[in-house]
Structure 1
Amino acid sequence: MIRTSLVAAALLASMAPSMAAPVDARASYVLTLGGINVATFDVDLNDDGRRYELDLSAKVAGLGNLVASGTARVVAKGASSGSTLASGEFDLETRANGEVFTVDVSYSGRNVSAFKVEPPVFESYDRVPVERGHLRGVGDFLSAFVVKANGLDKSLCNRKLKIFTGVERFDIAMSFAREDEATSPRTGYQGPVVTCNLDYQPISGHYTSSEITNYLADTSRILLWYAPLGNTGYYIPYRVLLGTSMGDLSMVLVGTKT
């Protein structure tokens, strides 16, 4: 009877879905514009094998009239049991110049179930309306760039991200560019990386007269490098580079803790 129980237990264990090892990690970044530090931020990742939480905390130093100093906090939660992260909640709060801006988005089955923005977005004749169909099959901006994979290869790049921020709906078409090597001792990782091209495609919620939106849609120089987050099975941005008229806007990984 004991032997039968052990066999039954082993059979049930082999049939049960495997639980990934829990992940508790942090990645730290520096954002620069034209070589000048604009912001620093930390991203904490917790994953129990079924649910994940990403917590981003940023301090923005500012840059003259271009970027206001302040703070930002983003929390994204959802399901991690599949091959990709499925958004469940996205909450953002920014504080700058004495003003507070918040966004709360809820997702269900990769569809937006509710969202709220405070203060409300200014409506104008040139703002492209967000339609109900635009809110299906989407995720949040933070979770979209954190990837679960079996290895560092071109599959990390060959994806199309459908993102809703609570204000804007856009796609980012990613494609493989090349394999590369991170060698700088000033960064938080040295080793192989994969470089991706990013193509920004506005869908709705944006203003057709927005210079930033139009620039992002027209530029062909948005690059993202992926690196492994230790041995967690996650892959995160090592660097993001966007060329602008004021110099390169660059985000670089400066430290990790796993």
Structure 2
Amino acid sequence: MRLIASALVTLAFAGAGSPAQAQTLKVTYDISLAGLPLGTADLSSSFNGSKYQMTGKAKLTGLAMVLTGGKGEAAASGSLAGATPRSANFEVVSKTSDNQRSVRMGLKGGRVAKVEIDPPLEPRPDRVPVKPADKRGVVDPMSALLMPALASKSLTDPANCDRTIPVFDGASRMNVILTYAETKTVEVPGYSGPVLVCNARYVPISGHRSERPATKFMQENRDMSVWLAPVEGPRLLFPLKVSVRTMIGMGELYASLWSLEGDAKASRRAVKAEEAVKAEASQ
């Protein structure tokens, strides 16, 4: 289940401006497995110039809550630079009825500087060792949800689907490979318009348990996708829906509420002003 949850979360979990120029995207997801409702997840992502901060909470409900007591909270921060977010901090706390685990990670320039896992993972003979090189050029699972649009393309250009996301969750390193499938028009509370539908693949690099049936299943899994909706101010795409086939059925996160607060035009003006100041300073 940890691998499945990581895949779901991974795929799914301006300027110096004033508050009026900042933007905040709030998304509530309904979580289901094999057609049965499991719970909800709330994500809030705030953007101010190139900086971002994200917080999220997930909670199982109904029978799933009774059986597992499952809930979790996560947070991440960093900056948007190029095609991949530049993570700075990440932390997640997951709780069930019989245990709790926390992960805290600091990153600098795409390199993992520090990781704390409490309690530590149990040693397993089939766990693939994480090499130092596996901790460079990566993003945390939460920041991986932010997908900056290509500079030369529109937000809904199919080319924005085609990317490889290098993810490190504090214990394991993986690639999430996205490829364009189709463009759909959707309507949910707070958003109506086009979304890019991207096929997804999970490629484990290290830290995973190579002999686990769930690992092998996910490596061969071709029934995964993510629907990306455009966010104009910071010029990025964000998951509106994530679908992952699991060993017990299809797991889905689907946005039941989408809210973008703030002034996108003011944000763009602030970015242009900042670029002009930088250009003047370099002359």
> Is the shorter-chain TM-score for this pair beyond 0.5, marking a shared fold?
yes
Deviations 1:221-255 (A, max 9, x none): 11111112465533211111122342211110110
Any idea what SS the aligned residue of 1:85 has?
A: strand
Structure 1 175/19 Cα, relative in aligned 2: closer, same or farther at 3 Å?
farther
Paired position in structure 1 for 2:54? 54
- TM-superposed deviation, 1:220: 0.8
For the residue of structure 2 that corresponds to 1:207, the secondary structure is: coil
CA contact (8 A) 1:71 1:96 kept: yes
Do the aligned residues in 2 keep the contact of 1:89 with 1:107 (CA within 8 Å)? Answer: yes
User: Aligned AA for 1:190?
Assistant: S
Q: Which has the larger radius of gyration?
A: 1
Instruction: For 1:147 and 1:22, locate their aligned partners in 2 and report how far apart those are by CA, in whole Å.
Output: 18
- Cross-structure match for 1:193: 195
Which is further off, 150-159 or 105-114?
A: 150-159
**Partner SS state of residue 155, structure 1:** helix
Amino acid at match of 2:229: A
Matches of 2:164 and 2:81 in 1, distance apart? 20
| Separation of aligned partners in 2, 1:63 and 1:208 | 31
Amino acid at match of 2:168: F
Which residue of 176, 181, 186 corresponds with 2:185? 181
User: How far apart in 2 are the matches of 1:219 and 1:179?
Assistant: 22
Does 1:161 find its partner at 2:174? no
Decide whether the 8 Å contact of 2:15 with 2:48 is kept in 1. no
Residue of structure 2 equivalent to 1:120: 120
For residue 217 of structure 1, give the secondary structure of its aligned residue in structure 2: helix
Could you tell me how far 1:122 is from its partner in structure 2?
0.8
Spell out, residue by residue over 1:95-139, the C-alpha distance to the aligned partner (whole angstroms, 9 max, x if none).
111422100111111011110111101111111011111111111
Alignment correspondent of 1:208: 210
18 and 106 in structure 1: CA distance in 2 versus 1, 3 angstrom threshold:
closer
Q: 2-side partners of 1:80 and 1:242: how far apart? A: 27
Which has a greater percent of helix?
Answer: 2
Query: Counterpart of 1:73 in structure 2: which amino acid?
Result: E
Residue 230 of structure 2 corresponds to residue 228 of structure 1: yes
Report the CA distance shift for 1:180/1:136 in structure 2 as closer, same or farther (over 3 A). Answer: same
CA contact (8 A) 1:62 1:70 kept: no
Q: Write the distance in 2 (CA, Å) between the matches of 1:221 and 1:160.
A: 17
Q: Is the 8 A contact 2:217 2:247 kept in 1?
A: no
Q: How many pairs align?
A: 240
- The Cα RMSD (Å) is 2.4
Match of 1:197, SS?
strand
Give every structure 1 segment of 4 or more consecutive aligned residues whose post-TM-superposition deviation is greater than 4 Å.
Answer: 17-21, 62-65
TM-score (norm 1): 0.85
Q: Does residue 23 of structure 2 align to residue 23 of structure 1? A: yes
* 2:90 aligned with 1:90: yes
The letter of the residue matching 1:95 is K
Distance 2:16 2:180 in 1: 30
